[in-house]
Structure 1
Amino acid sequence: MGTRGDAYPLGLCIALCLGSTVAQTDIIQGTTEDCNNHMLCPENAKCVNNTHYTCLDGYQSHGNRFFTDITEICDDINECLGLSPPDCGRYANCINRDGSYYCSCIDGYESSSGKANFMNASENTCQDIDECQRNATICEPHGTCINMPGSYMCKCSGGFRKSQKDPSKICTDIDECHKNPGICGPKATCINTNGHYWCECQAGYVLSTRNSSMCEAPSINCSAEFEGIKATCRNFNLQGKWSSRSSSFCSFFNSTLDILMSTCRDGSAALSLEEATLRFSALLNSTSLSDGGDKGDMGLALTVLLQSVELAALATALLSPERRTQNMTTESMAVQTRLVTGNCSRDSEVFTLRAHEETMDVPCDTVTRAATQAGLGAAAFISYSNLDSIISARRLSEGNLPAGGKLEKSHLNSRVVSGAVGDGRPIHLSRPANFTLRHRQAKKEEEEALCVYWKVEAQSGSWSPDGCTGVHTNSTHTTCSCDHLSSFAVLMAPTTVTESYPLTIITYVGLTLSLLCLFLAILTFLLCRSICNVSTSLHLQLCLCLFLADLLFLIPVTPTGSQVACAVIAGLLHYLFLACFSWMFLEGLFLFLTVRNMKVVNYTSACRFKKRFMYPFGYGFPALVVAISAAVNPDGYGTSKHCWLSPERGFLWSFLGPVCVIILVTDL
């Protein structure tokens, strides 16, 4: 019984399993023809027969594979998360979808075959996308694109950083001025710009040559100026070329250069204008310069002194940019300096510097063009109290002037003054500078005031008038106009041209008789109608021009008394004498035409001939020549001695040229 009892459940189980298998086989063997109610199939399922259903591929039910309940739910099978997920290959992701899946390249990669979706690794052709090449402006502005596997990176340019506050901007500017307030130092203002910054020096300061982001007071390199003179002094001493009385000149040179080097030295040890002036003044009061010596010794010593004081004055002006104007007066000299920052407000602006009773007028743009640093320039004016007496009484006549002529017989009659701009090197001025110097002694009528400057030659020097002219002179002052800056003085020279008294009498008597005869001729041509014709009309105009020219010649106007009046008289004389030659040319032309035609002149046509031909040429041609001459060289009218055309720059040819042409044409 026990055996049978135990075998019964087992047999029953086997029978049930076989029955279930047969039933499932019967369901599977069913056809769709048995599905008369297939419209009632659950979602994502299909009908096996009228009573059984199964989920579509890619879906699974919660219970058996085959079910009869139409409310059964078929859920999607996520193949990508299964126990055996699909192999999509490198740089690809498995993406599930309802009832299936597909493989797709990950972000930053794309299929080289052009097939966006695939099912397995054998179809994988994913490769990196070069975003930088595809979109060249992806990191702009202010960024550089760097491609990376599956991605890219934007590297910000210098002065920029990754933007965190503004997502619309990849790179944003770094405000260096705010980040580091002391980046430009105490004498400059930091100005932030897009991607950078720059330092703007305060007025009177310039960028440092040692640190481009720092500002400092400008300086002048003085050391190179007199190294050659030092060597010359040393060689002269070693070779015994110094005279027996001039050995003190070497110590004078050394003392001068020591002061200059102390003034130009960088740092807080530099001398101020007051200190430098006092030391130079003490040197001038010593006996070194006035002890004598050869003329070469004196010229070399004077050159060193003048240039050293100029450089020291400019250097001290630049070392104190907060002081625009500085003044210092000692027993031996007076100094005034002026600092110019920025551009001149007006091109015609002129600075006036004063020392003692002398003045220097220098254009502002001259100072700015000679600036040692951009936007900063200095001008210095020095007047020496007694330097003129030292060199005038002892050395001037012994060779410091060219031999012969007016300069050799002249004498100094003013203080020696010096003008300098920039770094002290000689420059040619686009517009002249004017110096007004007071005479030591009242100018005599028989003397001529000459403007001269100290011309440096071979480390020595001499007085020269080159480039300087006197624009105004009276008994107490002379104003000199010079096209360069250096050291200047006024020399008094005897008048070289003295008029002979008998010749003057003959001139005035002869011109008076000429005026009387010309007046009578003019009356005759005007009052005697019976002789009125073209020829007499030409004579009348010629006499009128000669009469006016002689009358103007006798007017007592001296060039130094009234320069403007003298220039006007010179211009009128130029015009009248040219008109005389023009009327003589017309008279010769008239005679030529008369002889060629061999007939009497038609009196009725004389008036028409004069109006249409004679007057326009006779008076118009001289007027045209004078107008062109005055426009080209307005300073050519009037000389230092006579109210006539200046011989400088060939201005006399404005008269001689037309006259020669008229004479040549008339003779032909």
Structure 2
Amino acid sequence: MGGPRGSVLLQGLCVLLILLEAGSQKTSGCARWCPPKSTCVNATTCRCSPGFISLSREIFSSPLESCDDINECGPPPLVSCGRLADCQNTEGSYHCICSPGYALASGATTFMNESENTCRDVDECQLKPRVCKSRGICTNTQGSYTCKCLPGFELNLGDLNLCTDVNECTSGQNPCHNSTHCLNNIGGYECRCRPGWKPVPGSPNGPKSTVCEDVDECSSGKHTCHYSTVCVNTVGSYKCRCRRGWKPKPRFQDKQLNTTCEVPAEMSFPAWTPPPGIKSQKLSHFFERVQELRRDFKPALPQETIQKVIESMDEMLKASGDLEAMDPSERHHMATHFLLGLETVLRTLAKAMPRASFTYRSPLDTELSLMIQEHGDGNVTMGQTHAQMLLNWAVATEPSNSGPTVMGILSIRNMQNLLSNASLELEPEKKEQLKKIHQSPVRGAQLQLLSAVNVVFLSNTNTEKLDSPVTFAFSHLENPQPKKLGTRQELICAFWKGDKNNGHWATMGCQTLGTRNNSTTCQCNHLSSFAILMAHYDIEDQKLSLITKVGLVLSLFCLLLCILTFLLVRPIQGSRTTVHLHLCICLFVGSTIFLVGIENEGDQVGLRCRLVAGLLHYFFLGAFCWMSLEGLELYFLVVRVFRGQGLSKWQLCLIGYGVPLVIVAISAAVKSKGYGYILYCWLNREDGFLWSFLGPVIFIVLCNAVVFVTTVWKLTQKFSEINPDMKKLKKARVLTITAVAQLFVLGSTWVFGLFLFDPESWVLSYTFCILNSLQGLFLFLLHCLLNKKVREEYRRWAGRITGNKYSEFATATSSTSHHQTQAHRPSESGM
């Protein structure tokens, strides 16, 4: 293979080998497993084409992965097409198209970027002029269109682009006046007059505005009826009928063209004069106003007169003024006269009312409801906001059955002042029932008016005993406590019963059926002025009364002995004795007044009862002030024994008598009538007046309680310091005696007295009476019999009286021995 030819062949072979080797290296450097939609990166990795992605994102190295299409339209969207456009995904890419009803301004169908968005509304009505079928009007809307039908046509439910005729006459919404006939035609209708009728003046026959009528002489004013009659139109003519309750004049007939009527005497404004001897200016002004209304009364306008009567009554009752200053019996007699006169006036004026019903509610919530009917049968129901009534028609009708029948309810909210302090007359059966329940007789009741006073009246004036009962439902304030059988308070239906010289509440002939949602149902066999009352019965407890009287007599005797002792025994004179003395004086005077004057005599609160209540207020407050000074002296004695002296005598008297005087003076100036009420000569509970006593008492008792705890604590320390070896039992006995004694001295037991006049507190009432009626006895035992100096003085007095000189010598010797012993032995009295 030598020579030039062989050399060329060898070089060619070498080039071929080099090319084969390069090709082999190139093929082995790219991965052969790359999936579709990808390209080879090197021998181990592949890259997804644009618009595709694998699980390992753009570049991946696993033969198991594939390249999936990227949804640029989301969610979440990766691109934004702008408003009024939608994104549509394609394989490896996407494009934007306008929303239905919109198109690009350029006319193209797709775009790629938001900056290319020129979508705008397409007017389908111009593109498709016949989209809405016959009798339809196309209306372009944003992105769509609607078809509206011409008047008289409606869209077909099967084809919303098709309008069909509407039969207005049979559609259930007849557009024609009820005096015409409706005739349907294509796309419309006609309103034509009925036979015998004619269009009203100016109204053509046929259009939907046509109104047909008979010639109405009454409404047109072309009639000639007298003012005393009412024009009644008839077909082709009219009649003149007398007003309700009026009657034709002589030689005239009713329901004629020339009928003339007159008011019967019983339908004119009745005479309503005040009772003789009236002392209230407000009542006088009211009756003067009534006389003016009577003079100016127009029979044709009774409802205006009724409203003015109610407004005048509200003006009188709005601010009671001098009504409260009237004597209770005179005021209650005035209330009886007022309610009866008001009932008569309203019944009479109601008969002249032209309407079948009438309701009026004044600005002060006085409400009148009237029902006037010519004929009726069966049960009748009428009502208003404050009351409802169910009765038989025969009960309401007058026995003569002449004229219209009237039923009325007048509810008055402002009668409390006129009827305050009124008594309650209980049925004998009710008294026996209460006596059986409480084992004691009933003395009376305190009343709280919860509802409006409802004046009920009918055409029938003979209502003292009805043939069938009347049922009422009265709305009222929320009752303070629910009704419980056997308790001393009860929610009752009562009526106002008047006599010649007075008036009071009563329950005879009425029964309470039940109470629910601040409404009480009652049933009565007579009519009057009704109200819902909360009755707090005063049950006389004979045992409690006996305990109180016996305890007070014994306490008064012991208080008198205490007063004499504190005045005459000189060895015990001091600031503490001064406090003891004046405490006993206040309790003695207060207990004496309580024993002889606490019960009110009669049904009125007179000057004597108010004076007794004021004195009790003063002396009992004085007693508590001296009890507070007892606590103050005890504080100086035990706690501050080495830190100065207590108050001087004039300071003690200034506090003990001055503070209660200021409280009583302010209370009397603010509300003098708060002293005394129907049952007892004590502070009235209304308007919180009782707190003029309870407030200072609670404050003093709380302060003394602090002193009591401090005293017992200090005494415990002193006993331990004086004699640490004192037996625990003996120390406990001394502390117990000291604590019990201080309870009575500091007035802690008077806490039970807060419930003395609460009829529900049986246990507390007995506890108070037993403990505090004997307070004088406890003070005598504590300050006199348990005081050694006082006992020695008693022995000395007894020796002088009996002439036993040995007794005096023994007493002196005993006293000397005692003082010597006390020098070596600590005190065990605890006082």
What band does the TM-score fall into relative to the shorter chain?
0.3 to 0.5
Give me the TM-score of the superposition, normalised by structure 2.
Answer: 0.30
TM-score (norm 1): 0.37
